[in-house]
């Protein structure tokens, strides 16, 4: 599954040992049932199904039916489900490996080597390596080829088809990090270019790496909430998750100090979300109004009898209606949308009233990047039109919504996104990301040396200093 076609023989020899370590516990009936359950639940519940080409989706399902009957173990089975899921291109729609399999998957461990990869503007770089091997593979080396294929082609054939995500940037991020993910014993031939331009080849085999010290040096665990003072009375706060209510308490404990700030930087980069309520309970201090407008939400409005009528209509019927049936254009459109899954129920949209005794209305910058997701995007939306706030950095992750969790054979689950979310002005950002007011993308140095270089933060500081002039 992971090796180029012209070296499939090598895979059969070197990969058989890896796959033999993964059990085959599911019966054929369980495999087909699990596949069909995910496919049918997605058909009925996936909120963006109207964007998916039905012929592509159904053909992929038929192909998966054939493939799951041939898989050798549970790992290969769930990979087939993930491949089908990836067609939906949604970050809140996922098929998860059972824990027992997930624990077997290796991403950075290659015996004597430990290598961490990352995406920078569509290219894959070594962003860290175990200390003893930093001369062999210097940080900043670019991966040029994998198993004889260009990195781009290898990702396109063997990595990206299994990743479910909403945006191209997030796809590139995950494809870079997981470029060499596999099981113990899987082998890779890597061709890379060092920062000095030297071309090197390396054979890697997945195995546990004992060395834990990395070339980048020890990086302490960053707290979920961080507060510090920068020059010129600029207060910096980083909010790295909205998962736990403690982040609100930590923030509120700094309110008296924040009131002394001449300007504020709020860093929600790498914040993968959590509870939208926690996001609201911090955002309310930065919104001049007591009423905060969040995202608009929609879910599919499924009425089987309307779908039945729509199943007899064609796109042409939505242009002028169907006179012989007595259907106006509007009625034909309604029935046809119901049939294709594009008829929505709009949840009541009204502002949330959130009182706060303190208002922090000084010039403020919010930093975001492609890892800013879900509830962190809700946070940005609550403060979207505040005149004193500027969003700086990169487009957000572009993934949010309410997933439906379903049980699958093998003691695992899948998620299916059931809620469509837009900005207050109805503009879609899922699959795109929330655009900053000022786009500042990370450079290679930022990614390789995050403790030494942060061009986005530097830009924010400079922006606030110039804003005071």
CA 121 distance to own-chain centroid: 16
On the question of pLDDT at 81 being above 80, the answer is yes
**pLDDT tens, position by position, 211-226:** 999 998 766 567 899 9
On the question of pLDDT at 8 being above 60, the answer is no
Nearest CA to 122 out of 178, 181, 169 is that of 169
**pLDDT tens, position by position, 239-267:** 999 999 999 999 999 999 999 999 999 99
d(CA 269, CA 282): 16
Q: Could you tell me the pLDDT band of residue 9, with boundaries at 50, 70 and 90?
A: very low
On the question of pLDDT at 180 being above 60, the answer is yes
**pLDDT tens, position by position, 185-200:** 999 999 999 999 999 9
Q: Give the angle subtended at the CA of 53 by the CAs of 84 and 314, to the nearest 5°.
A: 145
Q: Residue 216's pLDDT is what?
A: 86
Structure tokens at 108: 């950075």
**pLDDT tens, position by position, 438-453:** 999 999 999 999 889 9
Q: Is 81 helix (H, G, I), strand (E, B) or coil?
A: helix
Q: Residue 19's pLDDT is what?
A: 43
Q: Residue 220's pLDDT is what?
A: 59
Structure tokens at 378: 């809700």
Q: Which residues contact 459 (CB under 8 A, 6 or more apart)?
A: 392, 438, 440
**Number of other residues whose CB lies within 10 A of the CB of residue 347:** 13
On the question of pLDDT at 15 being above 50, the answer is no
Q: Residue 451's pLDDT is what?
A: 84
Q: Residue 16's pLDDT is what?
A: 37
d(CA 67, CA 267): 45
Q: Is 189 helix (H, G, I), strand (E, B) or coil?
A: strand
On the question of pLDDT at 14 being above 70, the answer is no
**pLDDT tens, position by position, 82-122:** 999 999 999 999 999 999 999 999 999 999 999 999 999 99
Q: For all residues of the chain together, what is the average pLDDT?
A: 93
CA distances from residue 400 to 65, 248, 371, 414, 427 in whole angstroms, order as listed: 30, 21, 12, 16, 14
Structure tokens at 134: 């930093």
How much of the chain is helix, strand and coil, in % rounded to 5?
35, 25, 40
DSSP 248-310: HHHHHTTHHHHTT-SEEEEE-TT---B-HHHHHHHHTTT-SSSEE---EEEEE---HHHHHHH
| Alpha helical stretches, state H, 126-204 | 151-158, 168-177
Nearest CA to 397 out of 90, 11, 95, 102 is that of 90
Nearest CA to 42 out of 80, 8, 92 is that of 92
DSSP 408-455: ETTTEEEEEE--EEE-TTS-B-TTT-PPPSEE----HHHHH-TTT--H
Compute the half-sphere exposure of residue 465: CA atoms within 13 Å on the CB side of its CA: 9
- Whole-model pTM: value is 0.89
CB 48 within 8 Å of CB 88 = yes
**pLDDT tens, position by position, 400-444:** 889 999 999 999 999 999 999 999 999 999 999 999 999 999 999
Q: Residue 13's pLDDT is what?
A: 31
The domains found in the chain, sorted by start residue, are 24-217+403-418 (2.30.42.10), 225-297+349-398+433-467 (3.90.226.10), 303-340 (no CATH)
CB 374 within 8 Å of CB 414 = no
Q: Residue 20's pLDDT is what?
A: 42
Q: Could you tell me the pLDDT band of residue 5, with boundaries at 50, 70 and 90?
A: very low
**pLDDT tens, position by position, 305-354:** 999 999 999 999 999 999 999 999 999 999 999 999 999 999 999 999 99
Mean pLDDT, range 370-397, rounded to an integer: 96
Nearest CA to 445 out of 266, 238, 216, 271 is that of 216
Q: Residue 221's pLDDT is what?
A: 66
DSSP 357-395: S----S-EEEEE-TT--THHHHHHHHTTT-TTEEEEES-
d(CA 173, CA 169): 6
DSSP letter assigned to residue 348 = P
Q: Residue 217's pLDDT is what?
A: 76
Q: Which residues contact 253 (CB under 8 A, 6 or more apart)?
A: none
Q: Residue 218's pLDDT is what?
A: 66
Residue 99 has φ and ψ, to the nearest 5°, of -55, -40
Q: Is 192 helix (H, G, I), strand (E, B) or coil?
A: strand
d(CA 172, CA 288): 38
Compute the half-sphere exposure of residue 142: CA atoms within 13 Å on the CB side of its CA: 15
**Number of other residues whose CB lies within 10 A of the CB of residue 101:** 20
Q: Is 110 helix (H, G, I), strand (E, B) or coil?
A: strand
């Amino acid at each position: 599954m992971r090796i180029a076609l012209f070296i499939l023989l090598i895979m059969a020899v070197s990969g058989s040992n890896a796959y033999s370590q993964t059990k085959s516990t599911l019966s054929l009936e369980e495999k087909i049932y699990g596949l069909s359950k995910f496919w049918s639940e997605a058909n009925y519940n996936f909120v963006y199904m109207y964007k998916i080409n039905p012929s592509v989706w159904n053909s992929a399902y038929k192909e998966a039916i054939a493939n799951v009957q041939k898989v050798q173990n549970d790992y290969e089975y769930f990979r087939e489900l993930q491949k089908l899921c990836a067609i939906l291109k949604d970050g809140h729609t996922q098929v998860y490996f059972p824990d027992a399999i997930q624990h077997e998957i290796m991403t950075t461990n290659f015996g004597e080597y430990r290598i961490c990869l990352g995406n920078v503007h569509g290219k894959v770089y070594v962003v860290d390596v175990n200390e003893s091997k930093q001369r062999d593979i210097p940080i900043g080396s670019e991966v040029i080829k994998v198993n004889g294929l260009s990195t781009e082609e290898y990702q396109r054939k063997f990595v990206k088809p299994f990743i479910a995500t909403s945006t191209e940037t997030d796809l590139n991020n995950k494809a870079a990090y997981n470029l060499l993910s596999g099981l113990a014993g899987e082998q890779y031939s890597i061709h890379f270019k060092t920062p000095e331009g030297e071309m090197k080849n390396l054979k890697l085999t997945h195995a546990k790496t004992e060395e834990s010290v990395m070339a980048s040096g020890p990086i302490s665990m960053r707290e979920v909430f961080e507060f510090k003072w920068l020059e010129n009375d600029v207060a910096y706060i980083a909010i790295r998750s909205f998962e736990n209510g403690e982040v609100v308490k930590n923030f509120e404990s700094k309110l008296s100090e924040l009131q002394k700030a001449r300007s504020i930087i709020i860093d929600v980069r790498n914040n993968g979300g959590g509870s939208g309520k926690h996001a609201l309970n911090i955002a309310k201090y930065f919104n001049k109004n007591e009423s905060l407008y969040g995202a608009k939400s929609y879910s599919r409005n499924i009425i089987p009898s309307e779908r039945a009528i729509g199943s007899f209509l064609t796109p042409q019927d939505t242009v002028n209606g169907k006179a012989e049936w007595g259907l106006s254009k509007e009625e034909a459109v309604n029935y046809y949308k119901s049939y294709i899954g594009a008829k929505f129920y709009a949840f009541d949209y009204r502002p949330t009233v959130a009182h706060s005794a303190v208002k922090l209305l000084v010039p403020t910058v919010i930093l975001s990047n492609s890892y800013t997701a879900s509830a962190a995007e809700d946070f940005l939306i609550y403060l979207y039109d505040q005149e004193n706030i500027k969003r700086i950095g990169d487009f957000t992750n572009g993934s949010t919504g309410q997933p439906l969790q379903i049980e699958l054979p093998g003691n695992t689950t899948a998620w299916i996104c059931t809620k469509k979310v837009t900005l207050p002005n109805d503009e879609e950002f899922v699959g795109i990301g929330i655009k900053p007011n000022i786009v500042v993308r990370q450079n290679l140095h930022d990614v390789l040396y995050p403790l030494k270089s942060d061009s986005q933060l530097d830009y924010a500081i400079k922006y606030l200093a110039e804003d005071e002039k």
